[in-house]
Structure 1
């Protein structure tokens, strides 16, 4: 361990990448402090936070004065710097490249497509008071379906986790995105037993850290159910 003090992380657990980081930190037990940035209250637009991240996005990590943004970069930095089990981000070049392959793909497919379903079904109606735009939602669900097909055929294939036999940061980033539509009461893996089993394996591997990170999202889901 090289750090003189705990790593600081700025998070909003309604954010998918923030949840991935939160789960990772709690699993590997890196000393850290969490600073909540409530996006719905506009706290990401304050002057102090904008100095940390001009993009006004979470998560942000500060490690002994070293500021890093982007969840993918933060997870890999922490895995590289701290003495964490190697399966999170393997050192062996081919195995590491598999994780990098998924995380590069993730930003064009899993992340935008799962997020769009949540935005259309939950966020926009809550903000505007308008009904769900079914045409746009069905288009988004179709895009997500294509992405889920690729997750099964390109990444899971016959292996238990996305990048091999062990859990990695790729699985955390992916599962947190695919949980997001739950906020609108939709389980996008409902008809996909292979991906359901993968999600269960991830949950079992990280234990209580999973539900702790998702408590805010479960709250959104339950409040929405109560209104219906």
Structure 2
């Protein structure tokens, strides 16, 4: 990496995908700077940011003039372009394909359900709009089936989703599963196997995990403080 400037990451840590990118940068000690783009202020919609990413979404990575969007692509680029341990995104085709298999599934399954829960439990109340309780019930039921697949199809009896060591699959998955904590909902509380996996991932990531998720903990504190004593909202 000699002669390379620090990469620049445009992030909002309320986003699970942005947290995954920051954790990867920190955990692998890749020189970087971070520019916070506040989604709540629609800063990703400004003309200036649209020049950087016409999709007007986060995260965005800028590396010596090379601009890349989409968290999956960013993480795989960093794992390939920088000297990081092979377990993140293995060179062996079969092992790499397992990581690709999960990341392809994650976006259309886990991301969809988790984002919908965040919308109904955090964003709509913050905008003083009524949440659709029936829709939320349906989303939670769908998520339950998705968690079954995470546990039985991907994790199985392994330590991590793609084998014996942490990979990009685990990083993306854990950041998704932390998102409902914003509303005090721990969706893994009745799933001891996935709870053990989450603990292993958190231990493997050390301080970078809690640093990136500090905003989640802050939102949770504010949210749960507003709950009445008789609320049946799941809490930690």
**For the superposition of Structure 1 and Structure 2, which TM-score range results when normalised by the shorter chain?**
over 0.9
SS of equivalent to 2:79: helix
1:143 aligns with 142
CA, structure 1 residues 3+107, in 2 after alignment: closer, same or farther (shift >3 Å)? farther
Q: Distance in 2 between matches of 1:56 and 1:180?
A: 21
What does residue range 81-120 of structure 1 map to in structure 2 within 5 Å?
A: 81-120=81-120
Deviation at 1:58, TM superposition (A): 0.5
CA, structure 1 residues 182+191, in 2 after alignment: closer, same or farther (shift >3 Å)? same
CA, structure 1 residues 145+22, in 2 after alignment: closer, same or farther (shift >3 Å)? same
2:231 aligns with none
Return 5+ residue gaps in structure 2 as ranges.
228-236
1:217 aligns with 216
What does residue range 201-216 of structure 1 map to in structure 2 within 5 Å?
A: 201-216=200-215
What does residue range 40-189 of structure 1 map to in structure 2 within 5 Å?
A: 40-127=40-127, 129-189=128-188
**Normalised TM-score (structure 1):** 0.97
Deviations 1:173-204 (A, max 9, x none): 11111111111110000100011001000000
C-alpha root-mean-square deviation of aligned residues, in Å? Answer: 1.0
Whether 1:191 aligns to 2:207 is no
Q: Distance in 2 between matches of 1:94 and 1:130?
A: 47
SS of equivalent to 1:187: coil
Whether 1:28 aligns to 2:1 is no
Deviation at 1:131, TM superposition (A): 4.1
Return 5+ residue gaps in structure 1 as ranges.
none
Moved over 3 A (4+): none
**Normalised TM-score (structure 2):** 0.94
Deviations 1:119-141 (A, max 9, x none): 111111211x2443221111000
Q: How many residues align?
A: 227
Do the aligned partners of 1:3 and 1:63 also contact (CA within 8 Å) in 2? no
CA, structure 1 residues 67+2, in 2 after alignment: closer, same or farther (shift >3 Å)? farther
Deviating more after overlay: 111-120 vs 179-188:
111-120
SS of equivalent to 1:107: helix
Deviations 1:151-188 (A, max 9, x none): 01110001011111110011111111111111111000
Deviations 1:42-88 (A, max 9, x none): 11011111111011101000000000000000000010011000000
Do the aligned partners of 1:13 and 1:216 also contact (CA within 8 Å) in 2? yes
Deviation at 1:3, TM superposition (A): 5.5
